[in-house]
Amino acid sequence: MTRLKFLMIIGTVLVFGMILAGCASMQLVSLETDTVTGPAQVRQGMDIEPRLITVWGHYKNGSRKVVYISRNNIIFDKNTPGPQTVKVRVSGMEAGFETTVMPLRTLTVTAPPRTTLFKQGQDPDSSWPGLEVRGEWEGLGNQIISVPALTITGFLPNQAGRQTIRVSFAGLTTTFDVDVRAMAGLQIDQTPTKLIYIQGEPLDLTGLKVTGTWDGFPAEQLAITSANITGFNSNNAGIQRVVVNMNGRTSVFEVEVLTLSSIVLEKPPTKTDYIVGEPLDLTGILVMGNYTGSDPTRRRSEYIPIDQLVITGFDPNRIGRQQRITVTVRGQVANFFINTEAPSPATSQVVPPTTTPPVTGGVTISPSNPTTTKGTSLQFTAVVSGYNNPNPPINWSVSSNATGTGTVTSGTRITGNGMLSIGDAETATPLYVIAAYAPNPAISGYTVVTVK
């Protein structure tokens, strides 16, 4: 079995070797330039059939054979009447023959398309089935021209009435007529499933069924999109007439947009206690909107997205308890309260102890190299290597460089307990939060805060 496999492999190699040798021997070396034959006359606008051209070539094995050519090998100007040289280019080599491009004299529609009656808004089949166009050339008689070679223009699908369609080829034009029937009616067979909205909701056309009718055609269900709709505005409360438009015809259905009658703060934000300078945090807030229709019994309640809440009354620099924060949505108001305190003296500045604890290393800051955005706050902590007390005395600072000599905007600050607040107008990025061991500021560390 092993010997048989070996013989099969040897045979395969020999066959491929013979094929490759044969291919090499059949390599085209040159074209005969004085024996090329081709049609003495060709039709203007028409390609030359490769089978009408004969080119002889010489091959590496010494043989002389007819060279295979395709349309891509034939180079000439088919649109300009008169004598010219047709070039045949193969493998970078050229040969040629003389011909005359005979002018097109007439262009005639000898059979119209099978379909010449259209509905307004209907596009024709681009191949125009059934259309037959003949050209007549000087000295070469007439011939059917394929539809893909023709330029057909003038069809306007949305314009009702009789239309003249232009057919062009090689500089000549002929025509045929079609009839585009106007839409006779537009009818809503089924309204959308959703007919009641709250202010701010987008229109939902799910379930809408619309039928169009045309003279001479059966009724047809239409695809309706938002581009066919006018008259809906979800910001305006009340009954609205929504208009479906197509081909100059309209049909109407009604929806109702419920008005926001009140809002209820179901849950205030999670964070209600602040240090001066901290930005407002709305995380956890839940505001319920109560909506009412023209019929007072038609009511609906939904939570309002946080991005629709307008917040006023917050001043990050005002100290006090029970500060009123107002939430407004479309003229409806609710309130919640926060407390803002100044930093405690114990955390604003640490006084170095009289006895310096032993320190053996540097300062490590957490979180390390965080990323945040303008208008936010971050709490940092520091650990001094070799200092056993969990709250080492630290002098905190924030700078635009690692040496602590850079500047930041007035809205950016860090408290004595490591709370960093980044101003809305901060331009420095990154920021450097620096923690220095108070008894010996030479022992320090920093972390880089990327601000986006």
Q: What is the CATH number of the domain that holds 417?
A: 2.60.40
The tokens for 114 are: 């099978």
Instruction: State the average pLDDT over residues 62-85.
Output: 95
* pLDDT value of position 59: 93
Mean pLDDT taken over the chain? 88
381 and 433 assigned to the same domain: yes
H or E segment at 22?
Answer: helix 2-25
Contact 320, 340 (CB under 8 A): yes
Cβ atoms within 10 Å, residue 6? 10
Share of the chain above pLDDT 70, in %: 89
Spatial distance between the Cα atoms of 428 and 175, rounded to a whole number of angstroms: 71
pLDDT band of 77, cuts 50, 70, 90: very high
Total number of domains constituting the chain: 3
111 and 84 assigned to the same domain: no
* pLDDT value of position 347: 42
Spatial distance between the Cα atoms of 402 and 406, rounded to a whole number of angstroms: 8
Give CA separation, 386 vs 334, 358, 383, 446, in Å: 53, 7, 9, 18
Of 120, 154, 181, at which residue does a domain stop? 181
Q: What is the pLDDT of residues 228-274, one digit of tens each?
A: 999 999 989 999 999 999 998 999 999 999 999 999 999 999 999 99
The verdict on pTM exceeding 0.75 is: no
Of 81, 102, 123, at which residue does a domain stop? 102
Give CA separation, 331 vs 117, 137, 304, 414, in Å: 57, 80, 14, 38
* pLDDT value of position 303: 93
Spatial distance between the Cα atoms of 440 and 248, rounded to a whole number of angstroms: 84
114 and 98 assigned to the same domain: no
In a domain, 200, yes or no: no
* pLDDT value of position 382: 87
pLDDT band of 389, cuts 50, 70, 90: low
368 and 447 assigned to the same domain: yes
109 and 162 assigned to the same domain: yes
DSSP bridge partners of 320: 340
Q: What is the pLDDT of residues 211-222, one digit of tens each?
A: 999 988 999 999
Spatial distance between the Cα atoms of 421 and 434, rounded to a whole number of angstroms: 14
Q: What is the CATH number of the domain that holds 98?
A: 2.60.40.3630
Spatial distance between the Cα atoms of 4 and 11, rounded to a whole number of angstroms: 11
Q: 350 pLDDT exceeds 70?
A: no
Spatial distance between the Cα atoms of 242 and 252, rounded to a whole number of angstroms: 6
440 and 399 assigned to the same domain: yes
Ordered alpha helix ranges (H), 282-368: 345-348
Q: Which residues contact 1 (CB under 8 A, 6 or more apart)?
A: none
90 and 114 assigned to the same domain: no
Instruction: State the average pLDDT over residues 298-323.
Output: 90
Q: 383 pLDDT exceeds 90?
A: no
392 and 421 assigned to the same domain: yes
Q: What is the pLDDT of residues 4-15, one digit of tens each?
A: 666 676 666 555
The tokens for 392 are: 């080492």
Q: What is the pLDDT of residues 272-299, one digit of tens each?
A: 999 988 999 999 999 999 999 988 888 8
* pLDDT value of position 14: 55
Write out the residue range of the structural domain in which residue 135 sits.
104-181
Spatial distance between the Cα atoms of 394 and 380, rounded to a whole number of angstroms: 11
Instruction: State the average pLDDT over residues 124-135.
Output: 96
37 and 70 assigned to the same domain: yes
At residue 284, φ and ψ (nearest 5 deg) are: 95, -10
Of 164, 181, 198, at which residue does a domain stop? 181
Q: What Rg do the C-alpha atoms of the chain give, in angstroms?
A: 43
Q: 349 pLDDT exceeds 90?
A: no
H or E segment at 400?
Answer: none
Contact 219, 211 (CB under 8 A): yes
